[in-house]
C-alpha cells in the first residue's frame, strides 16, 4: 500500500464516471474547494452511515462553497442505484476500471481487499491538498476534520 497523499501536495487530476454516460474531471472544479471521500463500497453498513451523514450536513460544506465527491471502486450503475435509494445529493464517482486507479494515486487503495480505504481529502481552490485523513477500516470518520479543514482554508 502506498502512502496517503499529504497536505501541500498537488491533487492528482482524474476523470471518472458519475453515470454510465457522464464523467466528472477534478480539474473542472478548480476555483472552489473539493472534498474527496474515498470509501470501500456502496451498500456496506459503515459506508451507508458515512455517506448519509455527509448528505445531512451538505449545507455546511456548501456554506464553504465546497463540492463533496464520493469515490469507490463500485461501478456507475451501482452508484446510481445507491444514490437514488439513499437520496444522496452529491456525486458518487466510479473508480471501477482500471480498478482503484484514482484511489491508488491518492494512496487510499487497500489492495488485499480490492477496495478504497475510508480516506478523506480537502483540496483548495487551486488544486492543492490542504488536509488528508485515513480512518481505520470499520470506523466512520465523521465530518469534524473536514469542517475544520474547510474553516482553515485561505
**What pLDDT, on the 0 to 100 scale, is given for residue 152?**
97
**What pLDDT, on the 0 to 100 scale, is given for residue 48?**
77
| pLDDT per position as a tens digit, 53-96 | 999 999 999 999 999 999 999 999 999 999 999 999 999 999 99
- Is 70 exceeded by the pLDDT of residue 47? no
* Mean pLDDT of all residues belonging to the chain: 95
Paired strand residues for 17: 23
Catalytic residue among 11, 34, 47, 94: 47
Between 76-86 and 45-56, two packed helices, what is the crossing angle to 10 degrees?
A: 60
C-alpha 4/C-alpha 108 separation (Å) is: 6
**What pLDDT, on the 0 to 100 scale, is given for residue 7?**
98
C-alpha grid cell, residue 134: 485515513
Q: Based on the residue annotation, tell me whether 78 is a catalytic residue of this protein.
A: no
C-alpha 136/C-alpha 125 separation (Å) is: 28
Please report, for the chain, the start and end positions of each structural domain, with discontinuous segments joined by +: 15-152
**What pLDDT, on the 0 to 100 scale, is given for residue 132?**
98
The answer to which of 8-12, 18-22, 42-46, 108-112 has the lowest mean pLDDT is 42-46
Mean pLDDT in residue range 98-126: 97
**What pLDDT, on the 0 to 100 scale, is given for residue 46?**
82
Taking a C-beta distance cutoff of 8 angstroms, is the pair 140, 53 a contact? yes
C-alpha 132/C-alpha 112 separation (Å) is: 22
Chain-centre distance of CA 141, in angstroms? 12
CATH superfamily of 15-152: Glutaredoxin (3.40.30.10)
What angle is formed at CA 105 by the lines to CA 15 and CA 9, rounded to 5 degrees? 100
Amino acid at each position: 500500500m502506498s502512502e496517503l497523499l499529504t497536505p501541500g501536495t498537488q491533487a492528482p487530476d482524474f476523470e471518472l464516471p458519475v453515470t454510465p454516460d457522464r464523467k466528472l474531471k477534478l480539474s473542472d472544479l478548480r476555483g472552489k474547494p473539493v472534498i474527496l471521500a474515498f470509501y470501500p463500497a456502496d451498500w456496506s453498513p459503515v459506508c451507508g452511515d458515512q455517506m448519509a451523514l455527509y448528505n445531512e450536513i451538505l449545507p455546511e460544506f456548501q456554506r464553504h462553497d465546497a463540492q463533496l465527491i464520493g469515490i469507490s471502486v463500485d461501478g456507475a450503475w451501482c452508484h446510481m442505484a445507491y444514490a437514488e435509494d439513499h437520496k444522496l445529493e452529491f456525486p458518487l464517482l466510479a473508480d471501477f476500471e482500471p480498478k482503484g486507479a484514482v484511489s491508488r494515486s491518492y494512496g487510499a487503495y487497500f489492495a488485499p481487499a480490492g477496495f478504497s480505504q475510508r480516506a478523506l481529502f480537502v483540496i483548495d481552490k487551486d488544486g492543492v491538498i490542504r488536509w488528508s485523513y485515513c480512518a481505520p477500516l470499520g470506523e466512520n470518520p465523521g465530518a469534524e476534520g473536514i469542517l475544520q479543514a474547510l474553516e482553515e482554508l485561505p
